[in-house]
Amino acid sequence: MLNYVLHKLDELGAFELLGEDKTLEFVRRLCTFTENRYDTNPHEILYGLGEKLKICYGCLQKKDDVAGEYPICKECSKS
């Protein structure tokens, strides 16, 4: 459900309005809160958006090398 909400926010241009830093902060807070409280995982939340937002689901950092269906950076993919 959170993935759907993020996709809708993206369609409405919310991330462009927020800018990269605030978008990263929002996504980090969302993923951390829901992971601790509702046992979600960042991969499910960022599926299909990680590459566009350039946020790795493994380390929740802005990374230019995040690509593909699974939004993970090269550093996290080696772990």
User: pLDDT by residue (tens digit) across 18-60?
Assistant: 999 999 999 999 999 998 889 899 989 998 898 899 999 999 9
Residue 21 CB neighbours (<10 A): 9
50-to-11, 62 alpha-carbon distances in Å: 15, 9
Q: What is the pTM of this model?
A: 0.86
* Per-residue pLDDT, 33: 93
74-to-17, 26, 32, 35, 40 alpha-carbon distances in Å: 28, 23, 21, 23, 23
* Per-residue pLDDT, 67: 78
Structure tokens of 1?
A: 């459900």
For tokens 């689901």, name the residue. Answer: 57
Phi, then psi, of 55 in degrees rounded to 5: -120, 125
